[in-house]
Structure 1
Amino acid sequence: MIIVIQCTDRAGLVASVSAILAKNLFNIVSLREYVDQAENLFFMRLEVSVGGDESTLEKQLRKVLPDDANILINPLPEKKVVVMVTKEYHCLADILIRNYFGTLGATVQCVIGNHNVLQDICRRFDMPFYFISHEQVSKDEFEGKIADTVEKYNPDYIVLAKFMRILSPKLVAKFPMRIINIHHSFLPAFIGASPYRQAFERGVKLIGATAHFVSNELDEGPIIAQQTIPVNHSFTAADMVKAGKEIETSVLARALKLVFEDRVFVYKNKTVVFE
Structure 2
Amino acid sequence: MNTAKTAIHFTDNYLLNPTNPISVNLIGAGGTGSKVLTALMEINESLIALGHAGLQVRLWDDDVITSANLGRQRFAESETGLYKSVALINRCNRWAGTNWKAETIKFEKDKFGRMPEKARAIITITCVDNVQARFGVAEILKELSYRRHYQDEPKYWLDFGNSQHTGQVLLSTIGEIKQPNSEKYQTVASLPFVTDEFGELLKQSEQEDNTPSCSLAEALEYQDLFINSSLTQMGCSLLWNLFRRGMTEYKGFFHNLKDFRTHPIKVA
Greater relative contact order, per chain length (Cα 8 Å cut-off, separation 6+): 2
Q: What is the TM-score of this pair, normalised by structure 1?
A: 0.47
Asked which structure has the greater CA Rg, the reply is 1
Q: Specify which structure has the higher proportion of strand.
A: 1
Q: What is the TM-score of this pair, normalised by structure 2?
A: 0.48
